[in-house]
Structure 1
Amino acid sequence: MYFFEGGANLERIRSLMQVQNTLWIYRRIGKRCLDLCVSSILLILLIPLYPLVALLLLVFSGRPLLFTQTRTGLLNQPFQILKFRTMKNSVSNTSKLSFHWNDGVPNDFIFKSPHNSEVTKVGAILRKTSIDELPQLLNVLRGEMSLIGPRPEIPEITNCYNDLQMKRLSMKPGLTGWAQVNGRADSCHGHKIDHDLYYVNNCSFKLDMKILMLTIVAIWRGKGAY
């Protein structure tokens, strides 16, 4: 009986190791291949949309068309995120932000608000449909972001992370993620961290496909997008 149980446990260990190796291969190689293929195809398919968005912005908002901002990426490395400009002023006001949390970002903290007087009428439409995020496909191609992962925060917030919250920076930030299909901007910071850590611990091709499908549903409904 002892040898039987030992053999069964050994098989379970081998099976677990195979799963872990498969996950490692996907996270290190497969995920990047998926990013390159899907982002390249989307950039090509959406070519007719870019001139229309540019024209709307030029007529109703003026220049610049793109908005850039420093965000925190993989392993706490900063990068410049790209978006279509949705606010009246192109200059980011995050430099005026200052947070002083000693024990990490509070769980009830919510950064976005549905009532922002600086968002233009065209910008509100772009945000509602998530079209403003499309330039980030270039961030994905450059390897700064992934299609799926924790959404990138501003350094003013990530500088206050505690050890647990820092774990969400162990993966590339994504265009969409598990937190985004479970509340988007409506979620408080604590819920986002819980969802992001779930993704970090359970990242797989199957979960990524599920998130992509749920993202389409979330964009269609437009709930929680400001």
Structure 2
Amino acid sequence: MAGVPVLGSVAGLVEQVRKNRIDLVVVALPWSAEAEITDILERLRVLAVDVRLLPHRLIARTAGLSVDATAGIPLLGVIHHPLAGWRGVLKRSEDLLIGGTALAVLAPVLLLAAAAIKLESPGPVLFRQKRFGFNNEEFEIWKFRTMHTDRGDQSGAQRTVRNDPRVTRVGRFLRRTSIDELPQLFNVLRGDMSIVGPRPHPVAMKAGDVLYHEAVENYACRHRVRPGITGWAQVNGLRGEIDNLHTAARRVEHDLYYVDNWSLGLDAEIMVRTALLLFWDRNAY
């Protein structure tokens, strides 16, 4: 069959396993064939052999499978909370420790930035905007205002581009040095965000001419953890304007890598690389 020799029927399966000293048997039947599968398992139960079921097509496309018991019933795990249990406690502790320390150390910088914004142009010091957050729920992000009040885009539908005329002189400096992001430390302490995680996008942000969350497959999966001030995508050259679907998909791909591979070590690497980028990042404007 398909170029592979057939050694016999199910009736002779036990004999074949013994004769050829088989270590592993894979039962490649559809899961709907319950009676046939049960018959084969009963035949093989008396032998010292490993038996595996070929997964259903739907399950075969799912990474990170596990088996555990709930109320004594074996269950197949297909989707896992990336920060369950102590992992979540460690992540939140990291956010509170680093976020609180950063606010205390950087308080003079925040005050100077607020004063410069107020002196240059009329309007509020802070910019507030609805963005997608944990569990795909919306939250209000805080940033220093970097645009003229009468030219800003509250929805985020209009992308910020290089040499954007809407950005003030002070705002251009704040954006290039990422000082405009510092008020998000308050979002971290409130529990809306993390220091490190997928960057939160405005609810009306577009990739090309299509809404970001509708354009990229598995986009919402990045919201299984809190969004971050910095992230894996940003330190891998994917910060700034998203003007096409390819770049949008690559950013989401990096975000999902972070969600699936989170560790304190990965967070530390991202924070160190972010600090280095603060001195010069061509994608910050």
Q: Give the TM bin, normalised by the shorter chain.
A: 0.7 to 0.9
Whichever residue aligns with residue 43 of structure 1, its letter is L
Match of 1:124 among 172, 176, 182: 172
Query: What is the match of residue 168 of structure 1?
Result: 222
Match of 1:154 among 202, 223, 227: 202
- Detail structure 1 runs of 4+ shifted over 6 Å in the superposition: 20-23
Distance apart, 1:115 and its partner CA: 2.8
> Whose relative contact order is higher, 1 or 2, with alpha carbons under 8 Å and at least 6 apart?
1
Q: Structure 1: how far apart are the matches of 2:128 and 2:118? A: 17
Distance apart, 1:51 and its partner CA: 2.2
Match of 2:88 among 17, 28, 32: 28
1:72–1:158 CA contact under 8 A, matched in 2:
no
1:87–1:118 CA contact under 8 A, matched in 2:
yes
Whether 1:61 aligns to 2:61 is no
Query: What is the match of residue 43 of structure 2?
Result: none
Q: Give the number of equivalent residue pairs.
A: 203
Q: Structure 2: how far apart are the matches of 1:132 and 1:60? A: 15
Whether 1:85 aligns to 2:145 is yes
Whether 1:217 aligns to 2:281 is no
Q: Structure 1: how far apart are the matches of 2:193 and 2:183? A: 12
Any idea what the Cα deviations from partners look like across 1:72-125, whole Å, max 9, x if unmatched? 101111111000000012675254849xxxxxxxxxxxx442131100010000
SS at match of 2:107: coil
Whichever residue aligns with residue 127 of structure 1, its letter is R
Matching of residues 100-115 of structure 1 within 5 Å: 111-115=159-163
Q: Structure 2: how far apart are the matches of 1:129 and 1:26? A: 34
Structure 1 unmatched ranges of 5 or more: 7-12, 14-19, 99-110
User: Given the superposition, is the C-alpha separation of residues 145 and 118 from structure 1 closer, same or farther in structure 2, using an over 3 Å criterion?
Assistant: same
User: Given the superposition, is the C-alpha separation of residues 197 and 50 from structure 1 closer, same or farther in structure 2, using an over 3 Å criterion?
Assistant: same
User: Given the superposition, is the C-alpha separation of residues 206 and 48 from structure 1 closer, same or farther in structure 2, using an over 3 Å criterion?
Assistant: same
Query: What is the match of residue 39 of structure 1?
Result: 99
Match of 1:194 among 244, 253, 265: 253
Distance apart, 1:194 and its partner CA: 1.1
SS at match of 2:201: coil
Query: What is the match of residue 70 of structure 2?
Result: none
Larger helix share, 1 or 2: 1
1:82–1:139 CA contact under 8 A, matched in 2:
yes
Name the stretch that deviates more: 182-191 or 137-146: 182-191
SS at match of 2:128: strand
Task: Report the identity percentage.
Answer: 40
Query: What is the match of residue 264 of structure 2?
Result: 205
Whichever residue aligns with residue 175 of structure 1, its letter is I
Larger strand share, 1 or 2: 2
Distance apart, 1:218 and its partner CA: 1.2
Structure 2 unmatched ranges of 5 or more: 1-20, 24-48, 51-65, 67-79, 205-210
TM normalised by structure 1 equals 0.79
User: Given the superposition, is the C-alpha separation of residues 49 and 116 from structure 1 closer, same or farther in structure 2, using an over 3 Å criterion?
Assistant: same
Match of 2:134 among 71, 74, 84: 74
Matching of residues 134-153 of structure 1 within 5 Å: 134-153=182-201
Two-structure CA RMSD over aligned residues (Å): 2.9
1:67–1:90 CA contact under 8 A, matched in 2:
no
Any idea what the Cα deviations from partners look like across 1:161-192, whole Å, max 9, x if unmatched? 55511111111100000001011216621211
1:74–1:170 CA contact under 8 A, matched in 2:
yes
